[in-house]
Structure 1
């Protein structure tokens, strides 16, 4: 299913939690089941509490259906979740969600960060959107950072 309709990006509500889990368990990369998510503490109750506690999550809708979502940790400046239903990949939903997250994080922090698999499609998207200062975390994962526009970008030398 594809559409040329522009996604609506809006703050997530508690009513969106089930749809967010539907998206999360339907992805191709970094796929996890409800049971696996619960094993790491990601439960509907935990996400509902997060959504209720802070403006930290957004959903992407197409024709009234949630087709993607993103979440941030406002305190630590971390973009920690961006997921889009496979049939809506490549249609700008993820990019728009990332941009909304960046704006929220940059309101509070000059530098923001995320962790992802080095060779994932997601990593390619982040790099394309200007995320860099890549640091190897081992096991195929990397940390990427992005600076608020206008912030000085220090020169660093990566060894190895």
Structure 2
């Protein structure tokens, strides 16, 4: 299992992962283009992938411009192995090295993702988009978790 920064040539596999999920699915897969992915991992922020046997099984992308988590997804068959948590922690560690600004994300209610974010210390602050729950992480809350030894 290898965790590393995402590269442009990873985008085809990133798109496969994104479109394999069974929760928080895209209503139209064409809404997230390869060009969007390039912009987010090279200009707006950074991304990471988890690779097993040359196959990308999960990825995360953070957007410094809008101060939000743009993506954190795993292929369903690779859930519950700690991969999502590791991608999450790498991403937030990097984000808070760049800025101390709060970071937010939106996710569908009543999903495993909602429970994951609650468990990892995110605070619900309202709604976003089409009924998604909006969560926020502060530098202070992240720093408490990371200094307590709960991150990578």
TM bucket (normalised to shorter chain) is: 0.7 to 0.9
Secondary structure (helix, strand or coil) at the match of 1:134 reads: strand
TM-score in terms of structure 1 length: 0.79
Structure (1 or 2) with the larger CA radius of gyration: 1
**Contact 2:40-2:63 at 8 Å conserved across structures:** no
Unaligned runs of 5+ in 1: 1-6, 152-160
Check conservation: 1:11, 1:55, Cα contact below 8 A.
no
TM-score for the superposition, normalised by structure 2: 0.82
User: 1:105 is matched with which residue: 95, 107, 122?
Assistant: 95
Considering only aligned residues, what root-mean-square deviation do their CA atoms show, in Å?
Answer: 2.4
Q: Structure 2 vs 1, CA of residues 86 and 150 (structure 1 numbering), >3 Å: closer, same or farther? A: closer
Query: Shift in Å at residue 126 of structure 1?
Result: 0.7
Counterpart position of 1:141: 132
If each structure's helix is expressed as a fraction of its own residues, which one has the higher value?
Answer: 2
Partner of 1:27: 21
Q: Which residue of 1 aligns with 2:150?
A: none
* Greater mean alpha carbon deviation, residues 140-149 or residues 120-129: 140-149
**Structure 1 residue 57, shift from structure 2 partner:** 0.9
> Would the aligned equivalents of 2:45 and 2:61 in 1 still touch at CA under 8 Å?
no
Aligned to 2:29: 37
Asked whether the 8 Å contact 2:8–2:38 carries over to 1, the reply is yes
SS at match of 2:140: coil
- Name the CA distance, whole Å, in 2 between partners of 1:121 and 1:45: 28
- Kept after mapping to 2: 8 A contact 1:115/1:141: yes
Is this contact kept in 2: 1:9–1:59, CA < 8 A? Answer: yes
Paired residue total = 143
Tell me the distance in 1 between the aligned counterparts of 2:118 and 2:42: 31
Which blocks of at least 5 consecutive residues in structure 2 are unaligned? 143-152
